[in-house]
Amino acid sequence: MTLDRRRLLGSAAAAAAAGLISTPAAVGTAARFDAVAFDGFPIFDPRSVAALCEVLFPGRGEALSEAWRTRQFEYAWLSSLAGRYRDFWEVTGLSLDVAASTLKLHMTIEQRERLMTAYLSLPLWPDAAPALTALKAAGIRLAFLSNLSPLMLAENIAAANLGWIFDHVLSTDAVKSYKPDPKAYQLGIDALGARRERILFVASAGWDAYGAKAFGYPTLWVNRSGQPSETLGAPADAIVANMNGLAGFVGLPDNASSASRSK
In eight-state DSSP terms, residue 227 is P
Higher model confidence: residue 109 or residue 4? 109
**pLDDT greater than 80 at residue 246:** yes
**pLDDT greater than 70 at residue 6:** no
pLDDT bracket for residue 234 (50, 70, 90): confident
Among 67, 96, 118, the domain boundary falls at 118
Query: What CATH number corresponds to the domain at position 107?
Result: 1.10.150.240
pLDDT bracket for residue 197 (50, 70, 90): very high
Positions annotated as catalytic residues are 39
The proportion of the chain whose per-residue pLDDT surpasses 70, expressed as a percent, equals: 84
pLDDT bracket for residue 254 (50, 70, 90): low
Mean pLDDT for all residues in the chain: 87
**pLDDT greater than 80 at residue 67:** yes
Among 118, 137, 172, the domain boundary falls at 118
pLDDT mean over 240-259: 77
pLDDT mean over 17-35: 52
Exposed/middle/buried for 68, CB within 10 Å: 0-12, 13-18, 19+? buried
Q: Is 195 helix (H, G, I), strand (E, B) or coil?
A: coil
Do residue 161 and residue 234 come from a single domain? yes
Do residue 202 and residue 161 come from a single domain? yes
Q: What is the pLDDT of residues 133-152, one digit of tens each?
A: 999 999 999 999 999 999 99
**Count of domains for the chain:** 2
Do residue 40 and residue 103 come from a single domain? no
Give one DSSP letter per residue of 38-102, joined into a string.
E-STTTB-THHHHHHHHHHSTTTHHHHHHHHHHHHHHHHHHHHHTT----HHHHHHHHHHHHHHH
pLDDT at 30: 65
Among 66, 88, 118, the domain boundary falls at 118
Domain range holding 64? 47-118
Do residue 146 and residue 237 come from a single domain? yes
pLDDT at 16: 37
Do residue 135 and residue 226 come from a single domain? yes
**pLDDT greater than 90 at residue 13:** no
pLDDT at 43: 97
pLDDT bracket for residue 132 (50, 70, 90): very high
pLDDT at 31: 80
Closest by CA to 176, choosing from 115, 88, 107, 50, is 88
Do residue 10 and residue 23 come from a single domain? yes
**pLDDT greater than 90 at residue 23:** no
